Amino acid sequence: MIQRKQSIWLFIAALMGAGVFYFGLYQYHVTENGVDTVKMLRVNDHFPSFLNALVITLLPLVTIFMYGNRKRQSAMAFVNVLGLCSFIPMVLSRVNTLNKMVPPPTNGSYWIGAVLPVIALVFTILAIFNIRKDEKLVKSMDRLR
């Protein structure tokens, strides 16, 4: 059913994935021609990051509607966990590459968009636990028949 706990967790994970498009990943200051400018590292600037962010946003939404087949729903949520686990190092790698450029940024800080995938990861794991809990409940009800 759509009104189960895992649907709520997956929807929140999808919202966190969508927030990655709205918020920047890393904010840094660069001095160009004597002028200090603030720049933002975004998902839209890097095509592999953009594709991965699109997957981690759309996959939980699709997974919500797989309630008829809980094994497939659990597998798709696990694929989303893998997508999130690949997105986080990709962001860290991009920031590391940015800090090695010449001249390096004077100072920078991670922005809200860098934290959202970690939160989405937690909610996706909660959804997987609730999917497995539902599967156990259905199996126990089948034994009673």
Task: Convert the pLDDT of each residue in 60-94 to its tens digit.
Answer: 999 999 888 889 999 999 999 999 999 999 999 99
- The answer to whether residues 63 and 7 touch, using CB atoms and an 8 Å cutoff, is no
Domain 5-144 has CATH 1.20.140: yes
**Region of residue 50 (left: phi > 0; alpha: psi -120 to 50; beta: else):** alpha
Torsion angles phi and psi, residue 25, rounded to 5: -90, -40
> Taking residues 97-122, what's their average pLDDT?
87
Q: Is the pLDDT of residue 145 over 70?
A: no
pLDDT at residue 59 in the model: 95
pLDDT at residue 106 in the model: 72
pLDDT at residue 1 in the model: 53
Q: How is residue 99 written in tokens?
A: 């800090």
- Tens of pLDDT, residue by residue over 9-61, are 999 999 999 999 999 999 988 887 878 888 899 999 889 999 999 999 999 99
Helix boundaries (H) for the chain: 5-22, 47-64, 70-99, 112-144
What long-range pairs does 30-33 form, CB within 8 A, spacing at least 24? 30/103, 30/105, 30/106, 31/103, 31/106
Residues with Cβ < 8 Å from 105, sequence gap 6 or more?
Answer: 28, 29, 30, 39, 98, 99
In the chain the first and final C-alpha atoms are separated, in Å, by 21
User: Rounded to an integer, what is the distance from CA 123 to the centroid of its chain?
Assistant: 10
pLDDT at residue 18 in the model: 95
Global confidence as pTM: 0.88
Answer with the residue of higher pLDDT: 122 or 67.
122
Residues with Cβ < 8 Å from 38, sequence gap 6 or more?
Answer: 27, 28, 29
Percent of the chain with pLDDT over 70: 94
> Taking residues 86-105, what's their average pLDDT?
86
Of how many residues is the chain composed?
Answer: 145
